[in-house]
Amino acid sequence: MTQHFQSEYDLHCHSYYSDGTLSPQQLVELAQQRSVKYLALTDHDTVAGLEVIQSAAASTDLTIIAGVEISVTWCKKVLHIVGLNIDPKSEALLTLLSRLQQVRQQRAQLMGEKLEKLGCTGVLETALQYAGIGMVTRSHFGRALLDLGYVSHMEAAFSKYLRQGKPGYVTVEWATLAETIEAIRQAGGHAVLAHPQRYNMSATWMRRLLMEFKALGGSAIEVVYGAYNRNQICTARDYAVRFGLMGSVGSDLHFPDQPWVKLGSLAPLPSNVTPIWTQF
Binding site for ligand AMP (CB under 6 A): 19, 44, 71, 137-139, 142, 154-155, 158, 254
Q: Among 19, 43, 45, 182, indicate the residue that binds Mn ion (CB under 5 A).
A: 19
Q: Which is nearer to ligand AMP, 83 or 142 (CB)?
A: 142
Q: Which is nearer to ligand AMP, 58 or 78 (CB)?
A: 78
**Of residues 131-160, which lie at the interface with Mn ion (CB under 5 A)?**
none
Cα separation, 197 vs 231, whole angstroms:
11
- We find the least distance from the C-beta atom of residue 44 to Mn ion, in angstroms, to be 6
**Of residues 97-116, which lie at the interface with Mn ion (CB under 5 A)?**
none
Distances (CA, A) of 267 to 6, 138, 172, 195, 259: 7, 29, 35, 15, 16
Task: Confirm if 251 and 275 have CB atoms less than 8 A apart.
Answer: no
**Of residues 247-266, which lie at the interface with Mn ion (CB under 5 A)?**
252
- We find the least distance from the C-beta atom of residue 263 to Mn ion, in angstroms, to be 13
3-state SS record for 3-25: CCCCCCEECCECCCCCCCCCCHH
- For residue 200, is it left (φ>0), alpha (ψ between -120 and 50) or beta? left
Q: Which is nearer to ligand AMP, 169 or 205 (CB)?
A: 169
Q: Which is nearer to Mn ion, 69 or 182 (CB)?
A: 69
Task: Confirm if 181 and 191 have CB atoms less than 8 A apart.
Answer: yes
HSE-up (13 A, CA, CB side) for residue 107? 20
- We find the least distance from the C-beta atom of residue 221 to Mn ion, in angstroms, to be 13
Residue type, 233: I
**Closest to 24 (Cα-Cα) out of 53, 47, 2, 50:** 53
Residue 158 interacts with, from ligand AMP, Mn ion, none (CB under 5-8 Å by kind): ligand AMP
Distance in Å from the first CA to the final CA of the chain:
35
Scanning 15-23, 142-150, 168-176, 239-247 for contacts with Mn ion by CB under 5 A, the matching segment is 15-23
Q: Which is nearer to ligand AMP, 138 or 190 (CB)?
A: 138
The conformation of residue 163, written as its DSSP 8-state character, comes to: S
Residue 103 interacts with, from ligand AMP, Mn ion, none (CB under 5-8 Å by kind): none
10 forms part of the interface with Mn ion (CB under 5 A): no
Backbone φ and ψ for 239, nearest 5 degrees, come out as -65, -45
185 forms part of the interface with Mn ion (CB under 5 A): no
Q: Among 80, 104, 140, 143, indicate the residue that binds Mn ion (CB under 5 A).
A: 80
Q: Which is nearer to Mn ion, 46 or 126 (CB)?
A: 46
Binding site for Mn ion (CB under 5 A): 19, 69, 80, 194, 252
